[in-house]
Chain A
Amino acid sequence: MTFRVHVRVMPRAGLLDPQGQAVEHALGSLGFAGTQQVRIGRAIELELDAPSADDAVGRARQMCDRLLANPVTEDYELEVEAR
């Protein structure tokens, strides 16, 4: 089966996110009052052939742990759907 994997990588809470701060500032300048806690991460999508959804999740986790996310600075979430 082919699965579509959605990975959401975010800077770890508590670590300074200067991109998020800059965008928050820009949104304020545009008049969007009350905007807070803007954080910027990364979305990665990929397709994966695997025998089951569990297997696809397991392999996607390995991809995140080894390459797609940095365990020192980032957290990730996964979503897997059959195509």
Chain B
Amino acid sequence: MQRVAIIRFPGSNCDEDALRAAAGAGTDAYYVWHRDTDLKGADVVVIPGGFSYGDYLRAGAIARFSPAMSAVQRHAAEGGPVLGICNGFQILCEAHLLPGALMRNARLSFVSKPVDVTVENTRTAFTAGYTAGDRLRLPVAHGDGRFVADPETLARLEGDGLVVLRYARAEDANPNGSMNDIAGIASPDGNVVGIMPHPERAVESALGSDDGAPFFTAMAVPAPTGPAATSTAGTP
């Protein structure tokens, strides 16, 4: 059974939802406290949403220096899958595991509502269960979700097909002023993924949507030839 480590920081608040979603998908999911230096044999790492360290200084800025993040950096460098959701995405950007940054929402208000997103990249460790172009309804809940990057980085993300989720343009669904309507991106190898929407809050119809479930069922499937195998599944 695939082992999924959910990293808990002081201020994480989507950790239990993430654990339940991962366990429900048939994985052996467990918590790793941010002061731990050992991921306890994790096949997959999830950095859940919340307000780690109260979002002091910048969202994710302090969490990225937690001891567990050094282990996550090593796991990612070896090709291990890492999914950052919301605050987890912010932490991955602060840790330079993903490019760009997440700034205050353009209209300043905290946005908590379901939004429509499209799946653009299905070659990542977490989106293989989708078909490119799939339309998902997923909740967002954030105050700092406006993805920004310098023009070169943005062009590279688009040119290499590294945008994973995009707020649906037809519905004007962008809740935060994110550049190019970006809701999630991946590393070039597809093993590190950061998304603002919360798939763990959309894993069964009783929650209003089960569109997020494939993110977690993907975790239950061992990578064919080691954790980095997703990078060979296709070229950008």
Which stretch from B104-112, B114-122, B193-201 is at the chain A interface?
B104-112
- On whether the beta carbons of A70 and B61 are closer than 8 Å, the reply is yes
Confirm or deny: A22 has a beta carbon within 8 angstroms of a beta carbon on chain B: yes
Scan residues 1-57 of chain A and give those whose CB is less than 8 A from a CB of chain B: 11, 15-16, 18-19, 22
- Of A16, A67, A68, A72, which is within 8 A of B101 by CB? A72
Q: Which A residues touch B148, using CB under 8 A?
A: 15, 72-73
Scan residues 59-109 of chain B and give those whose CB is less than 8 A from a CB of chain A: 61-62, 65, 93-94, 99-101, 103-108
Kindly report which residue of chain A lies nearest to residue B109, judged by CB atoms. A18
- On whether the beta carbons of B106 and A18 are closer than 8 Å, the reply is yes
Confirm or deny: B58 has a beta carbon within 8 angstroms of a beta carbon on chain A: yes
- Encoded as 1 (CB less than 8 Å from any A CB) or 0, chain B from 134 to 169 comes to 000000000000101110000000000000000000
What separation, in Å, do the CA atoms of A73 and B179 have in the docked complex?
A: 13
Confirm or deny: B177 has a beta carbon within 8 angstroms of a beta carbon on chain A: yes
What separation, in Å, do the CA atoms of A19 and B104 have in the docked complex?
A: 8
Confirm or deny: B206 has a beta carbon within 8 angstroms of a beta carbon on chain A: no
Q: Which B residues touch A68, using CB under 8 A?
A: 57
Residues of A in contact (CB 8 Å), total: 11
Q: Which B residues touch A18, using CB under 8 A?
A: 104-108, 177
Q: Which A residues touch B149, using CB under 8 A?
A: 72
- Encoded as 1 (CB less than 8 Å from any B CB) or 0, chain A from 47 to 83 comes to 0000000000000000000011010110000000000
Kindly report which residue of chain B lies nearest to residue A69, judged by CB atoms. B58
Q: Which B residues touch A11, using CB under 8 A?
A: 103
What separation, in Å, do the CA atoms of A26 and B148 have in the docked complex?
A: 26
- On whether the beta carbons of A16 and B57 are closer than 8 Å, the reply is no
Q: Which B residues touch A70, using CB under 8 A?
A: 58, 61, 94, 101
By a beta-carbon cutoff of 8 Å, the part of chain B in contact with chain A is 57-58, 61-62, 65, 93-94, 99-101, 103-108, 146, 148-150, 177
By a beta-carbon cutoff of 8 Å, the part of chain A in contact with chain B is 11, 15-16, 18-19, 22, 67-68, 70, 72-73
Pairs A–B under 8 Å by Cβ, sample size 28: A11-B103, A15-B103, A15-B148, A16-B106, A16-B177, A18-B104, A18-B105, A18-B106, A18-B107, A18-B177, A19-B104, A19-B108, A22-B108, A67-B57, A67-B61, A67-B62, A67-B65, A68-B57, A70-B58, A70-B101, A72-B93, A72-B99, A72-B100, A72-B101, A72-B148, A72-B149, A72-B150, A73-B103
